[in-house]
Structure 1
């Protein structure tokens, strides 16, 4: 047993502290696979954990980081052996189980999937939970029977991580994508990912009507609250919105009118506890369907020692696209 470097969140009477320290391998949590982490990423949830803006962390001390790509170092799990390339998203990593902003983790093998062929560790974490969630949203819309010929698809929070990947995936699938954002100066970025139209966030911020003008047949919502309620009110008959985020709030000031008069569906999408077969399907599709050039265009890379400041920026809405964290 030895020590490894990690970023650790602790709680004192004065509040939350975040610091880099040496962690003893003996302090790793129970699991049947030990992974040497090479890359992680920065999601909105990671930003909330790092800043303490929301109760993401459920035990202290905690190593944050909800995503990892790495190599199996030791395993007693039947599916994995030393040297296997793996990824992990969710399952309480960085919330209730020591997370990925560390050189090593010990986890349950049932949480891991093999890194798909065709994706480097860096690319896998450029996708991360955000991109994997975007694919789950696309799959939910497809399962509902929606296709591009039904009309446009809207993406809210389009400049963010989930939104950026959703724009790229929907555009590749043939949808006319309307990218809603509070950062209209990023129009060129969004159109480069495949957006056909840019919608200013202010158009979704006003009072919610029970029914608005029908404008889109499908959507991926990353923000919740009033914007989602407005999106629902303007969804075409028989359409559906896949909801996966709460950046604008957890409330939903809507009415039942769109659901009972327009047959609109609200599809909840969870990535944290999604069953393994669904995860494997989503990641296999991401490896083949997400344009690598567009993925690179939406991705920046930082070392682990910059993640705390980056976490503040992502919560403040100042981060564009995806951020890969090199663990080192």
Structure 2
């Protein structure tokens, strides 16, 4: 295999650098049974953390980041996968402790691989990426706890113009949910959220949280993508027998609450993990994303080159990023 290029994060005297390197070899990739020629990767909040000093994502340096990839198999030691097969990989240790998707080639354990669903191409797969998988898992968890488009329920989506939130809004709108409320922080995000399918939009700064253990019952379900104080403040507004799915920590890792919403209203907090879920659950969600939940053609999407990755990571860090950004590798 010829030398190839990748984005590499290095640590030098406690400083972290991110740059394109052009002379990498296969021996610089971590072990695995399958080698993939990467066509697309995507950028997520976790990728931004991986490029920061003390970001808590990358565990050893140097490292090729990128927690997502899609591409074509060029070598396989596993008879379940064949040369020329299109596949995708998200989660596990990809881009964290195992060389990731922001590279022309990746070598991964075969157990991490999901064959590309029939109705998706490699670009569609990364238009979703980890964000789409997480959105799908969040929706599925809420559905398992009573959320139905036929019940005229009110559903709040936080971080509604970000990666997970924007995909979730579009899927929920396609499924027929009529009372979709988007919670956003900036005025310019209002129109964006409405175009994504929100029937109403609330600015965080204009919402009266009240700081009570129990507040007026406003939302049957909340699909939360940000965590922290915002989530803490929303818990008292969940209606009787309602649920909240939690998948992010952009607003912090701590939540404060009382037992009252849980013992007096019977609400549920549903943790969403997209990193170590079973292969079976992954395939189930990807099949939905390629069929009845398919919104890949209408996602808020930007395509960039590998060279433009640092600029977009900076936008994610500064809260100025909208929707999904995919990286065309080859």
Same-fold call, TM cutoff 0.5? yes
After superposing the two structures, state which structure 1 stretch, 285-294 or 56-65, moved more. 285-294
Q: Given that residues 208 and 253 in structure 1 are in contact (C-alpha distance below 8 angstroms), is that contact kept between their aligned partners in structure 2?
A: no
Q: Which residue of 1 aligns with 2:194?
A: 191
Shift of 1:260: 0.9
| CA offset digits 1:198-240 (Å, max 9, x no partner) | 0112256856321111111111101111111122210100000
CA–CA distance in 2 between the matches of 1:97 and 1:277? 22
Q: Which moved more, 1:97-106 or 1:12-21?
A: 12-21
1:168 aligns with 2:170: yes
Cα distance change of structure 1 residues 75 and 204 upon mapping to structure 2, 3 Å threshold: farther
1:66-85 Cα deviation digits (max 9, x unpaired): 00000001101122010000
* Aligned pair partner of 2:282 in 274, 279, 282: 279
- Contact 1:229/1:253 (8 A) holds in 2: yes
| 8 Å contact from structure 2 (residues 147, 153) kept in 1 | no
TM-score by length of 2: 0.95
Contact in 2 for aligned 1:299/1:324 (Cα 8 Å): yes
Rounded to whole Å, the distance in 2 between the matches of 1:232 and 1:31 is 43
* Counterpart-to-counterpart distance in 2, 1:27 and 1:293: 36
CA contact (8 A) 1:304 1:327 kept: yes
CA distance, structure 1, for counterparts of residue 185 and residue 133 of structure 2: 23
SS at match of 1:51: coil
**Which residue matches 2:294?**
290
Residue from 142, 150, 153 that aligns with 1:151:
153
| Aligned-partner Cα distance in 2 for 1:293–1:40 | 17
CA distance in 1, matches of 2:206, 2:247: 20
Q: Which residue of 2 aligns with 1:5?
A: 5
Aligned equivalents of 1:138 and 1:36: distance in 2? 32
Unpaired segments of 5 or more residues in structure 1?
A: none
Superposed, which structure 2 residues align to 1:93-104 within 5 Å? 93-104=94-105
**Corresponding residue of 1:40:** 41
TM-score normalised by L of structure 1:
0.96
How many Å separate the matches in 1 of 2:308 and 2:212? 43
The answer to whether the 8 A contact 1:42-1:324 is kept is: yes
Looking at structure 2, the residues matched to 204 and 113 of structure 1 have their Cα atoms a distance apart, in angstroms, of: 42
Structure 2 gaps of 5+ residues are: none
The residue aligned with 1:130 is 131
Tell me which stretches of 4 or more aligned residues in structure 1 moved more than 3 Å.
203-208
SS at match of 2:51: helix
SS across alignment from 2:118: coil
Contact 2:214 2:260 in 1 (8 A): yes
